[in-house]
Structure 1
């Protein structure tokens, strides 16, 4: 996954570093970033391999982060993993989003009503950032968690966020080239993608059918603020066998759309009345 040159943390050094650049800080943060999505922890050798460093280079950075409480060594192994203290690095940003406090109870209720995993995401620097979730214990093997970043065109959340943009805004984000396919069912032609967004805007929700992960379906709907701007999107995701056509139409779509409207109204959005 490519990362934007501004606003998005990176483990790649910029080409033009000023005299204010602190190399040790950059490398320490690179070590923390390398754990993203690694549920089983990493050894010093694996850290070095992922960063393209020599085998011995990570030791001092890992030792320092361990002493500071950001990393811990798994008992009886040579594997390290981040501690809950790492969450404080982003807490000041996330805690400032009143949207999270308003949305989480709604997400929890939606998860319980559908028996499916529910997520919320925002668009930041051209990527969808997952900022909240309510997950069921039995879920498909989809490695998505709070803090994950994905291109907007591949997920129902991203498509819901894009659905109310005009063509120029969409083109600025995804370009006019063919879109990489995540599965054989993915939409890869820009014209077909824009048509899908138009349909989604008209119906008020997005449906992805095994387009992000094989065997997985998802319904998403946008969240609006008091000015009517789309500020986030929520989705419900499960396996095809659970999200049958009938269940989607009778339960999932109405409940996801209603949940998105509930969060929107809690933020001061007043839906337009039909004439």
Structure 2
């Protein structure tokens, strides 16, 4: 019997899905700052797969050069080859290539660190960064992830979405209070987004890390939807929120507009 139109596309997609590839990627993603090295049992537990499956995945990844076993501890760890995948993404990304000169100029004019982040799920991911010569309270290398709901770059991105979409992302977030300043209520975060829409930029005052304050603006694509956010770091050791908004926001908005023009031409 032929499949119905409603179920055929889903069935055919599930037949194309490669579970072995999914498991292999899960193994790579399981390594982190908390799990720098792992035994096979650790890998199986971290990825929720059987030990025999973990052994096959790790053996294959080791042969391909993505993991290696320490000769003394016999524990597995990632190799530098893993970075090739992420670097290829950065190298092939047109917006990042275009954004770098603008970020460099933003850091030069403000004397503060400037960054470009992109959305991934409920997070924003650092894809470009120009570091200030001055003290920066938090080190956020390329590839770092920060939650949308409590960061300026995340709120800038959310503020450029239709409110129902923004609300859905906020409600789906695990709204943890990272500091005593973190806003976790859906309604209060939505109010922050409404203010960001009115002024064109969002702020974050020590909601993720103490001593860290940022001002961010969305970067829009060809369809008028946000594709990224650009932000300037304003450490509380040098700035008050009022000073950061008054002195940094105008330059930041100029940068965001330039990046938006570039993003629309790329799209």
Fold shared per TM-score above 0.5: yes
> C-alpha root-mean-square deviation of aligned residues, in Å?
3.6
What residue is the counterpart of 1:140 in the other structure? 137
What residue is the counterpart of 1:50 in the other structure? 46
CA contact (8 A) 2:128 2:142 kept: yes
Matched position secondary structure for 1:188:
coil
Unaligned ranges ≥5, structure 1 = 1-16, 270-275
Q: Give 1:132 deviation, angstroms.
A: 2.4
TM-score by length of 2: 0.74
TM-score by length of 1: 0.72
What residue is the counterpart of 1:261 in the other structure? 257
Counterpart Cα distance in 1 of 2:84 and 2:171: 35
Counterpart Cα distance in 1 of 2:24 and 2:173: 37
* Alignment CA distance shift 1:70-1:152 (3 Å): same
Give structure 1 regions of 4+ aligned residues with deviation exceeding 6 angstroms.
53-57, 74-77
Matched position secondary structure for 2:233:
strand
Q: How does 1:159-238 map to 2 (within 5 A)?
A: 159-175=155-171, 179-238=175-234
Counterpart Cα distance in 2 of 1:124 and 1:87: 18
Q: Give 1:26 deviation, angstroms.
A: 3.2
Q: Give 1:168 deviation, angstroms.
A: 1.8
Number of aligned positions between the proteins: 251
Q: Which stretch shifts more, 47-56 or 146-155?
A: 47-56
Q: Give 1:126 deviation, angstroms.
A: 4.3
CA contact (8 A) 2:125 2:146 kept: yes
Aligned counterpart in structure 1 of residue 24 of structure 2, from 24, 28, 31 = 28
What residue is the counterpart of 1:41 in the other structure? 36
Q: Which stretch shifts more, 48-57 or 103-112?
A: 48-57
Q: Give 1:237 deviation, angstroms.
A: 2.2
Q: Give 1:179 deviation, angstroms.
A: 4.4
Establish whether residue 67 from structure 1 lines up as the match of residue 67 from structure 2: no
What residue is the counterpart of 2:6 in the other structure? none
CA contact (8 A) 1:176 1:190 kept: no
Q: Which stretch shifts more, 47-56 or 148-157?
A: 47-56
Counterpart Cα distance in 2 of 1:68 and 1:86: 10
CA contact (8 A) 1:177 1:190 kept: no
Q: Which stretch shifts more, 130-139 or 99-108?
A: 130-139
What residue is the counterpart of 1:12 in the other structure? none
* Alignment CA distance shift 1:243-1:60 (3 Å): farther
Counterpart Cα distance in 2 of 1:239 and 1:225: 30
What residue is the counterpart of 1:9 in the other structure? none
What residue is the counterpart of 1:123 in the other structure? 119
